[in-house]
Amino acid sequence: MSHVLIIGAGGVSGVVVHKCAAHSDVFTQITLASRTKSKCDAIAKSVHERLGVIVETAQIDADDVVATTALIKACKAELVINVALPYQDLHLMDACLAAGAHYLDTANYEPIDEAKFEYKWQWAYRERFEKAGLMALLGSGFDPGVTNVFCAHAAKHHFDEIHTVDIMDCNGGDHGKAFATNFNPEINIREITQNGRYWQTGTWKETGPLEIHTPFDFAEVGEREMYLMYHEEMESLVEHLPHLKRIRFWMTFGQEYITHLRVLSNVGMTSIEPLQYEGKEIVPLQFLKAVLPQPESLGEGYQGKTNIGCWIEGVKDGKEKRYYIHNICDHAECFQEVGSQAISYTTGVPTMIGARLMLENIWKRPGVWNVEQFDPDPFMTLLSTNGLPWRETFPTEAHPTP
């Protein structure tokens, strides 16, 4: 018997709840709570119609630690899955400690008034979780998440030393909207408008936002321009891959997307500085989020595929080796299965897998952990059997970057 409490009822949550319900032998009781209860009810209705499983719902402000602690206790949750926003991470970790529940999330903490995401705030909880005999699993989505597990799999099965990692995230899909983000617009735009950063020979190198870019030919998508960005999984992989010399993260964007972003940025709409508007304080980016399409609304009619993976180079048995591992996911197939687009799907499936491994005591260790710190094999097996099969190749050419 495993009771799980899922917080947040957006695009990713919809997938997590459907996928947990599809494993009702492990997730025997599911409670879904979020700021807007009607969104929880809509997901619960879809789960009941598709899978015949009943999901309990509740209203919660996850920033209210006392109320969240009471909710965790009331539904006797063994594990809290945080698919709300990164702003809630620390409050939910506090509530888990107070209520005696394990914790899992998909995105590392960032303060609401500063677009700066780092693991240091959550890693600082290590001792408290360890002492309480509780486990927190950080970043169990796709990137971070699967990309970290891909590196752990490469380290275990293909390399003696990993020297370089290039994580490449391509969305070759078309949702038919002039401009929309595939996950929470506020978090997404904060991430993309930051300076780029990559790690080489022991130091972080900074670039302008989206300054470095190069074309790459993605299988089943075609050639796309990919842009060097900072992304959070690099921080933990730098810690956990001992022979690493360089790690970079690339994401593809179309010209139309970049033009919209540039204009919105130029006119101040992506700013997180509060300003007064007709006597009320507003944050331009939060207002922009309110007028943009919600990620969970993009699924219908979304065509095309995502292709996300890791290009890894290093040494095996004294010889140089190249290895490329990736997943391809079809937007329309995700919509048919759980009513979502592929970005939410590729995030929500690994969330369920991480939770399942914790509840089955396969990945279970008190403390605060990143996914690459566990045996990748059971995770990789569950990816293949739960809608995210992976492919590996051994390229003969070097990585085509500037």
Alpha-carbon distance of 144 to 133, in angstroms, equals: 25
Q: Which stretch binds ligand NDP (CB under 6 A): 79-87, 95-103, 245-253, 278-286?
A: 79-87
**Parallel/antiparallel/unpaired status of strands 29-34 and 196-200:** unpaired
Which residue, 141 or 173, has its beta carbon nearer to ligand NDP? 141
Do the Cβ atoms of 236 and 211 come closer than 8 Å?
A: no
- Under the criterion CB under 6 A, does residue 101 sit at the interface with ligand NDP? no
Q: What are the phi and psi torsion angles at 335 (to 5°)?
A: -65, -40
In the bound complex, what is the minimum distance in angstroms from residue 107's beta carbon to ligand NDP? 4
Q: What are the phi and psi torsion angles at 275 (to 5°)?
A: -140, 160
In the bound complex, what is the minimum distance in angstroms from residue 308's beta carbon to ligand NDP? 9
Q: Which stretch binds ligand NDP (CB under 6 A): 111-119, 121-129, 180-188, 198-206?
A: 180-188
Q: Could you tell me if residue 377 is left (phi over 0), alpha (psi between -120 and 50 degrees) or otherwise beta?
A: alpha
Per-residue mark of binding to ligand NDP, 229-258 (x: CB under 6 A): ------------------------------
Q: Which stretch binds ligand NDP (CB under 6 A): 69-77, 129-137, 192-200, 291-299?
A: 291-299
Please identify which residue in 2, 69, 171, 184 interacts with ligand NDP, judged by CB under 6 A.
184
- Under the criterion CB under 6 A, does residue 86 sit at the interface with ligand NDP? yes
Alpha-carbon distance of 288 to 271, in angstroms, equals: 10
Please identify which residue in 110, 143, 166, 330 interacts with ligand NDP, judged by CB under 6 A.
143
Residue number with the shortest CB distance to ligand NDP? 10
Note the Cα 181 to chain centre separation in Å.
14
The kind and range of the H/E element at 374 are: none
**Around 2, how many Cα atoms within 13 Å sit in the side-chain half-sphere?**
20
| Closest by Cα among 233, 279, 227 to 251 | 227
Q: Which stretch binds ligand NDP (CB under 6 A): 83-91, 209-217, 234-242, 328-336?
A: 83-91
Number of residues engaging ligand NDP in binding (CB under 6 A): 35
Alpha-carbon distance of 112 to 120, in angstroms, equals: 16
- Under the criterion CB under 6 A, does residue 164 sit at the interface with ligand NDP? no
Residues listed for the chain? 402
The kind and range of the H/E element at 64 are: none
- Under the criterion CB under 6 A, does residue 18 sit at the interface with ligand NDP? no
Binding residues for ligand NDP, per CB under 6 A?
Answer: 7-13, 34-36, 39, 60-63, 83-86, 88, 106-107, 141-145, 183-184, 187, 294-296, 343, 347
